[in-house]
């Protein structure tokens, strides 16, 4: 045999073999992919990683002493109240209930001695619902979310210092799940639901096994997110996960470490020991701070939705205490929370936790954001209400945490008003975050990061997270989508990852933060995934965008409203809540008007007779702003929250009316309400006009008293009241009853039957109503113009309303195909003139709904001017008991226009009447405020209301939405009695030349009728208007209030300046140069922002006894003027040459 020479053995990898007899086929990816689920599925729990997650567990009474006390009914006792109660022994398996009740546990934990050196010991408490753990002194430590959903959080880490002695905690268990007590489909709650205490165990988790579980899940997630046919990282992660399955043996604990080592193939060698330092690797120096994905923990808590306010107060404490714990455990973790109302609740109810949060805020880890009182609906609140959302929110954050918010955070509202950019900038925020338009029904919104330009031209840098959610679970797909779905990568490539459980609260879980570490490690090691940046603020994110986009100049733009193509039914659902909102806004305006001037009156300052009631006004505003939360005002919550809301509105109404009366008694001394019997001598009637504009009206007065007033009266046919003409011709603020003879000579109003048709008319309009209660003819007599389209009628219509999804939220386009007229069964004449004519139409809808509509026409217009026309007023009473029906009122007009105008906050929006594009067609139901208007050249018609928000205009048909009847999540939505009013106002000239905005104000701001002794009338009516606008019919004073920083202690020697703030706006969409005339002693004046920070001084020109401030407006601009009052000059000067007409009283008979 020949001798063979062999080379010496080589170090390193084995040499490539010459021969191979072993087949090695590629694995079947589909089958293997299914196999990966076996690693952490319950079906293989005895052999997979789930079998080794815990080292030990005990629930015996020696180590876990459990007692319980159940609060009576639905009461929610405080910690101090609960711990004083008599607790009874309890054990696992007990049932807690019914729904919405509270059950307090006293728990004493004795840690087994053999556990004292364990890495971690936890108390596992699963009550199937939500709970909160307190220490023995009442500090909330952590929230609990029971059950087995993705938001499960049942583990509480026992402090190491508590291992050597009995450790006492208290737990408040609430009988509701994370999303209330419904069936999971947003239906009404089950009020008799019970919850099982599944566990109350001391456990020792095997942390290495948990880390392996988190390793594996991210590997699997990578393999399923990145396409296996062309992704190197996806394939490596796939094969690595499979290797872990092959290596792992539940009976051999040493395989846990081996499997974790295998995972380093993707995450990098030694990555786990780096902890939060993993975020400092993988970048070139110049790229630090410019990562594409910025992670921020957040916890969206609906202030009310499928649960009441009281539950939200608990959710806030549970969620935020948990986040404070995560901040301690993960140095890279930062968390944002919005809504000043929730912070205030926490401060009041959980003061110890509030102090902990303040410390975290100081550290920059817990970051208040948003700058508003609640995350409000932005479609329906008035312009001033939006101002107050910002003002009350920002001032709260500044007062508690030392800084204003710089980011307007509103991720979950159903559309965004076109005035938000202007108002947000005016409140100190130039950055805006949302994502809701990713839900659009038809059109994908084409921007991610852009300049949103509002109605007046103001812009904010806006980011709509491409992750398309504010409740990201920090999956690999979430991180990838932050760039993959980004629509503006060419101009700005950053995406915000807002992660954490939300809506019902909860926030981020520890596995989310652990997962993000692994995703960053994989990106560092192998690329293909964007690198996540952690630890910064949302403000830092926007500042980086601003810097990298040339100060925002390179960003694309979007002009006008951000219309949401979904949830259109929210403009109408829960009509009484809409009414409560509108009436509360108006009442607060009236209170501030009267209280401001009352507080400045000389006689009010003597002996502190009257001080502006700042605390009371603040309380009512905060209550009103609370009801504007985006699931309360839109009508998309459960019935319980509307029971609460109605109580709030009743309180606002009762307390507000008392505040208003007190202010009016000082503002107009000697006056009392018209129904008051306190004036026994002869008296006159006056009416308080707070609009700072001339107005006249036909008003209704009680007929049980004798009036000595000069004027003309029409007694009602039932003799219960009478009608009179009141005027404030100069806009002085005080209107008086006038003799209507001269006006009536031009033409009185009448109503009469002609056959089966009721005819109503005056000098301006002709109206015909059919026996079915439909308006068959409306004509402008002066122009011989028919206003209703030929062959059509105006009146009530009803639609079937069965949306595909989201019952209370949505109305789908196909409902328009089911229209039916609602016909009256009787029409009768109620009043025949000469000041007012009224007919009553009665309707039956379905089996149980009764409706009455009073259609009235007055003899004189509300406004002045040669072309002013009267308005048709429709006062509706309806006892509504329909289901899945939609009631509207429409008028088909003899007008042709491509656009209709709808009032929005501080202006009007133009929207298409056609359906040329899908963007146009999607707007088949839109939001408006006090009016909508359809005009062509030379003529138009406006449709007014006093508490409605839903509109539509299809071609020439102008329509307003009145009542819906959804059954989820509130099974009894709107099933009760309603009152509301509509107005039809024709106007000669197009909208730009009309007085429609003023008419909308007048329609919603009734005169306050009062009595005054005849001997005092001359003094009262001789007052000048304190403030008014001269030189611009398109500019209006919206709000008059005292400055927020004034001294309201009543100390007349206070060094704090007395100030008055005016909110003024341009209403039509054009420039204006006006004079603000002021009959107050003004020392200086400034333009201020919504937060009342001075922006610059303006010229004050003395004129006579008052002052004039010239102001310049651009289209739809809102300007706040702050007047610094001269302490030497008091309100109010009297006009020396004023007098009251001495014409005799001329009663007018029917």
Q: Verify whether residue 412 is a known catalytic residue.
A: yes
**Active-site option among 201, 215, 302, 412:** 412
Q: Do residues 388 and 371 make contact, with C-beta atoms less than 8 angstroms apart? A: no
Taking alpha carbons only, the member of 95, 48, 68, 88 closest to residue 209 is 48
Taking alpha carbons only, the member of 144, 134, 142 closest to residue 195 is 144
Could you tell me which residues are beta bridge partners of residue 1036? 1065
Show the tokens assigned to 294: 């910025």
Instruction: Find the helix packing angle between 383-401 and 340-349, rounded to 10°.
Output: 50
The size of the chain, in residues, is: 1150
Q: Do residues 577 and 635 make contact, with C-beta atoms less than 8 angstroms apart? A: yes
CA distance 129 to 194: 9
Instruction: Find the helix packing angle between 254-267 and 207-225, rounded to 10°.
Output: 40
Taking alpha carbons only, the member of 561, 631, 574 closest to residue 415 is 561
Q: Is the peptide bond before 98 cis (omega within 30 degrees of 0)?
A: yes
Q: How many helices (H) and strands (E) does the chain have?
A: 22, 58
β pairing state of 757-761 and 765-769: antiparallel
Q: What is the dihedral of CA 698, 704, 710, 716, to 10 degrees?
A: 40
Complete DSSP assignment for 406-439: -EEE-TT-S-B-TTHHHHHHHTT--EEEE-GGGG
Residues 6+ apart with CB under 8 A from 801: 569, 811, 815, 884, 885, 886, 964, 965, 966
Taking alpha carbons only, the member of 397, 417, 416 closest to residue 405 is 397
CA distance 839 to 758: 8
CA distance 987 to 282: 68
CA distance 943 to 952: 11
CA distance 189 to 306: 8
Residue 494's Cα: distance from chain center in Å? 27
CA distance 478 to 576: 40
CA distance 463 to 486: 10
DSSP assigned state of 937: T
Show the tokens assigned to 234: 């996806």
CA distance 278 to 531: 11
- C-alpha to C-alpha distances, 74 to 190, 309, 316, 735, 963, nearest whole angstrom: 14, 13, 19, 50, 32
Question: How many other C-beta atoms are found inside a 10 Å radius of the C-beta of residue 748?
Answer: 21
CA distance 237 to 215: 10
Residues 6+ apart with CB under 8 A from 495: 292, 293, 294, 448, 463, 465, 466, 467, 481, 482, 483, 486, 530
CA distance 235 to 233: 5
Residue 636's Cα: distance from chain center in Å? 12
Strand order in the sheet with 1059-1066: 1035-1042, 1059-1066, 1118-1125, 1082-1088, 1094-1098
Taking alpha carbons only, the member of 646, 580, 567, 641 closest to residue 381 is 580
- C-alpha to C-alpha distances, 94 to 126, 168, 196, 426, nearest whole angstrom: 11, 21, 6, 55
CA distance 308 to 315: 11
Q: Do residues 394 and 371 make contact, with C-beta atoms less than 8 angstroms apart? A: yes
Show the tokens assigned to 643: 């029971």
- The residues that are catalytic are 412
């Amino acid at each position: 045999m020949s001798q063979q020479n062999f080379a010496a053995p080589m170090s390193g990898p084995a040499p490539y073999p010459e021969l191979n007899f072993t087949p090695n086929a590629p694995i079947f990816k589909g089958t293997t992919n299914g196999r990966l689920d076996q690693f952490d599925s319950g079906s293989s729990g005895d052999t997979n990683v789930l079998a080794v997650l815990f080292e030990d567990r005990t629930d015996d009474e020696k180590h876990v002493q459990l007692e319980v006390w159940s609060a009576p009914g639905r009461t929610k006792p405080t910690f101090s109240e609960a711990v004083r109660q008599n607790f009874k022994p309890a054990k696992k398996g007990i049932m807690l209930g019914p729904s919405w009740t509270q059950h307090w546990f006293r728990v004493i934990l004795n840690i087994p001695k053999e556990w004292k050196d364990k890495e971690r010991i936890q108390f596992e408490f699963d009550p199937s619902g939500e709970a909160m753990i307190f220490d023995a002194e009442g500090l909330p430590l952590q929230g609990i979310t029971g059950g087995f959903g993705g938001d499960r959080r049942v583990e509480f880490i026992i402090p190491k210092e508590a291992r050597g002695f009995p450790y006492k905690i208290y737990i408040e268990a609430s009988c509701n799940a994370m999303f209330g007590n419904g069936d999971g489909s947003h239906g009404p709650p089950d009020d008799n639901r019970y919850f099982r205490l599944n566990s109350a165990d001391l456990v020792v988790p095997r942390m290495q096994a948990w880390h392996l579980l988190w390793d594996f899940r991210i590997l699997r997630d990578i393999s399923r997110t990145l396409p296996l046919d062309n992704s190197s990282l996806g394939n490596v992660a796939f094969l690595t996960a499979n290797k872990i399955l092959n290596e792992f043996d539940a009976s051999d604990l040493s395989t846990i470490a081996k499997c974790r080592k295998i995972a380093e193939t993707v995450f990098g060698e030694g990555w786990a020991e780096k902890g939060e330092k993993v975020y400092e690797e993988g970048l070139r120096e110049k790229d630090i701070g410019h990562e594409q994905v910025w992670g921020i923990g957040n916890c969206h808590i609906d202030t009310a939705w499928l649960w009441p306010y009281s539950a939200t107060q608990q959710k806030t404490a549970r969620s935020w205490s948990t986040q404070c714990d995560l901040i301690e455990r993960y140095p890279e973790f930062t968390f944002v929370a919005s809504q000043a109302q929730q912070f205030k609740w926490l401060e009041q109810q959980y003061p110890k936790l509030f102090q902990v949060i303040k410390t975290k805020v100081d550290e920059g880890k817990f970051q208040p954001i948003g700058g508003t009182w609640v995350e409000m609906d932005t479609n329906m609140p008035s312009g001033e209400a939006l101002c107050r959302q910002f003002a009350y929110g920002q001032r709260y954050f500044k007062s508690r945490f030392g800084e204003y918010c710089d980011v307007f955070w509103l991720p979950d509202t159903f559309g965004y008003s076109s005035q938000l950019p202007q108002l947000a900038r005016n409140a100190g925020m130039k950055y805006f975050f949302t994502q809701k338009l990713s839900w659009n029904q038809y059109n994908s919104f084409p921007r991610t990061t852009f300049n949103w330009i509002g109605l007046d031209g103001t812009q904010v840098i806006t980011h709509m997270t491409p992750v398309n959610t504010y409740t990201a679970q920090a999956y690999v797909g979430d991180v990838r989508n932050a760039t993959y779905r980004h629509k503006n990568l060419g101009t700005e490539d950053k995406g915000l990852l807002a992660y954490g459980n939300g809506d019902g609260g909860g926030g981020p879980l520890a596995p989310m933060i652990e997962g993000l570490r692994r995703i960053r490690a994989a990106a560092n090691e192998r690329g293909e995934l964007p690198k996540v940046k952690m630890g910064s603020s949302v403000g830092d994110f926007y500042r980086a965008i601003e810097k990298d986009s040339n100060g925002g100049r390179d960003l694309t733009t979007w002009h006008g409203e951000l219309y949401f193509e979904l949830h259109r039914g929210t403009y109408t659902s829960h009509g009484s809540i809409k009414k409560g909102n509108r009436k509360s806004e108006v009442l607060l305006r009236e209170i501030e008007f009267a209280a401001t001037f009352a507080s400045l009156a000389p006689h009010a300052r003597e002996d502190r007779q009257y001080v502006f009631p700042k605390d009371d006004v603040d309380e009512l505003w905060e209550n009103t702003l609370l009801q504007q939360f985006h699931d309360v005002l839109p009508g998309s919550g459960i019935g319980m929250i509307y029971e609460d809301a109605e109580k709030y509105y009743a309180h606002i109404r009762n307390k507000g009316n008392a505040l208003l009366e007190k202010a009016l008694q000082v503002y107009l001394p000697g006056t009392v309400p018209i129904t008051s019997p306190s004036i026994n001598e002869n008296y006159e009637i006056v009416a308080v006009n707070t609009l700072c504009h001339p107005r006249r009206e036909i008003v209704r007065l009680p007929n049980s008293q004798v009036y000595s007033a000069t004027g003309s009266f029409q007694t009602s046919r039932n003799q219960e009241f009478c009608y009179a003409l009141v005027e404030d011709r100069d806009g002085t603020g005080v209107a008086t009853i006038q003799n209507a003879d001269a006006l009536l000579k031009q033409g009185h109003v009448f109503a009469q039957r002609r056959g089966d048709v009721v005819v109503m008319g005056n000098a301006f309009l002709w109206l015909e109503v059919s026996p079915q209660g439909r308006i068959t003819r409306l004509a402008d007599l002066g122009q011989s113009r028919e206003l209703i389209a030929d062959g059509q009628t105006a009146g009530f219509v009803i639609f079937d309303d069965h949306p595909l999804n989201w019952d209370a939220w949505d109305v789908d386009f196909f409902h328009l195909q089911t229209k039916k007229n609602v016909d009256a069964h009787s029409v009768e004449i109620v009043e025949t003139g000469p000041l007012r004519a009224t007919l009553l139409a009665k309707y039956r809808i379905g089996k149980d709904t009764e409706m009455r509509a009073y259609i009235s026409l007055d003899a004189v217009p509300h406004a002045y001017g040669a072309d002013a026309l009267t308005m048709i007023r429709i006062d509706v009473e309806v006892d509504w008991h329909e289901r899945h029906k939609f009631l509207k009122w429409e008028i088909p007009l003899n007008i042709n226009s491509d656009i209709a105008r709808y009032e929005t906050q501080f202006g009007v929006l133009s929207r298409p009447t056609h359906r040329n594009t899908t963007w146009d067609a999607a707007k088949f139901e839109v939001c408006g405020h006090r009016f909508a208007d359809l005009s062509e050249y030379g003529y138009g018609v406006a449709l007014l209301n006093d508490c409605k928000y839903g509109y539509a205009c299809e071609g020439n048909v102008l329509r307003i939405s009145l009542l819906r009847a959804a059954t989820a999540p509130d099974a009894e939505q709107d099933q009760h009695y309603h009152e509301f009013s509509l107005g039809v106002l024709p106007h000669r000239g197009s909208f730009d030349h009309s007085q429609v905005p003023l008419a909308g104000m007048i329609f919603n701001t009734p005169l306050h009728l009062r009595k005054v002794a005849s001997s005092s009338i001359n003094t009262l009516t001789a007052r000048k208007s304190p403030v008014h606008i001269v030189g611009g019919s398109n500019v209006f004073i919206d709000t008059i209030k005292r400055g927020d920083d004034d001294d309201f202690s009543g100390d007349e020697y206070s060094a704090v300046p007395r100030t008055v703030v005016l909110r003024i706006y341009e209403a039509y969409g054009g420039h204006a140069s006006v004079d603000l005339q002021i009959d107050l002693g003004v020392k200086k004046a400034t333009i201020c922002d919504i937060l009342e920070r001075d922006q610059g001084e303006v010229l004050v020109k003395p004129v006579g006894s008052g002052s004039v401030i010239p102001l310049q407006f651009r289209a739809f601009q809102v300007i706040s003027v702050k007047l610094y009052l001269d302490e030497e000059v008091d309100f109010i000067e009297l006009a020396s040459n004023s007098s009251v007409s001495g014409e005799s009283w001329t009663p007018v008979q029917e």
